[in-house]
Every structure is written in C-alpha cells, then in structure tokens.
Amino acid sequence: MTTTKLSDTSQIFYMFRHAETDWNVVRRLQGHSDIDLNNNGEEQAKNLQQRLAPLHFSKIISSDLIRARRTAELGVLAPGQDRSVISIDSALREVHLGEAEGQQREQLLPIYGEAFWSRWSSHLPDSLDLRFNGGESKRDMLTRLIDCVLKNIKAHPSDRLAFVSHGLALRTLCHYLHPELTETQFIGNCGALKIECSPLTNQLRLIKYFSPDEKIL
C-alpha cells in the first residue's frame, strides 16, 4: 500500500496480533477465553523480535489475556529492555463471543445458521452489530479499542507506542480504517498494523499491514 507523506506532527504506532495458540490451530473461537501460546507460538513471538529490529518501543500496551501478554514479553519487548514498559489494558481484548467461545464453526452452524455465520465472518459494515448470545458486537469492541489507543496516544505523546491485541479485533480495525479494501484482510499470528494518528483531529489512518513473514519497518 502506498501512502502520501506523513505530517510532521503525526504520531506513528504499531498494533500486533498475538502469536499462535492451540485453539488457533483447530479454529476454535477464543474471544475472552484465556488461552496461552503453544510451542510454535512462542517461536513466532521470538521471531517477531527479530522482525522488529531495530524498532524500539518505549511503551507497550497489551491486552490482559495471556496470549497477548506473552507475545508482548517475548516478541515486542526488545532484548534487555525492562518489562516495566509493558502495561496491561483489558480494552485491547478480542471481541467477547459469549456462548460461542470454545466452539468451532461446525458446532455453531446448527444454532445460528449459515447466513449468520457468513455475515459474522464478513468485513462488511452490516456485520458490525451482530453478536453471539451473551457476547458483544464488533462495533462495541471497535469503540473500546479505539478509545484505548487514543487515550494512550494522548498520555504518551513523545513515546513510540506498540499495542498487542487480537485477530478479529485488528481485522475489524483494519477495515474500519481502510474501507476501500474489497477482500477480507486476515491478520495472521504476529501480523502487524502500522497506523498514523493526527494529534489535532484524533483521526487514525492505516499505513500498512505487515504479514507474519515480513520485516516490520
């Protein structure tokens, strides 16, 4: 994706998806379920640290779920950097999926139907207000996610910030910031979004998505 020159007053930050879990492998919906990284996920996170060099973040804000926290510690924190730069914020959590958490697509289709699943899986705006029973909508998640980002940008205007969050949360944000995307942008484990924030308007602009095998610049 090519972009225009950034303004001198803009703040650039990065948002990362956590590394792999066993539930990712079998496509089991996680939501707020607190699932740790598997062995491959730990290796992905360590490789993320190499992909980031020489980027260095003075403030790292992570979802409180362990898969995100471990990714922040193993992958976003620079070698030798003090862990005190990491702070935790539950507003960066994945969409809460209610009764769908821990389930797979095949278990949910008899309850919700193919039409609901297709809309839920879509990046189109009419999916934003859908929710599983007992869960939240993607719009609800997007509101708390953006509020968290803007709050931290305002609090740390001179810091280079990184946020560690979750796949559906970042995919929804990606399409919200770049509605011209016609194909659903899957955010892979340890994928990253590079975003610009205008301090005068609080407007966010997506600069680039980095896939899990790309050097992050």
Query: Known catalytic residues?
Result: 18, 94
Neighbouring-strand partners of residue 17:
165
DSSP for 142-210, please give it.
HHHHHHHHHHHHHH-TTS-EEEEE-HHHHHHHHHHH-TT--S-----TT-EEEEEE-TTT--EEEEEEE
Q: Burial of 185 by CB count in 10 Å (0-12 exposed, 13-18 middle, 19+ buried)?
A: middle
Beta pairing class for 86-88 and 192-197: unpaired
DSSP β-bridge partners for residue 14: 162, 194
Handedness of CA 210, 53, 93, 113 (dihedral sign): positive
**DSSP 8-class letter at 21:** B
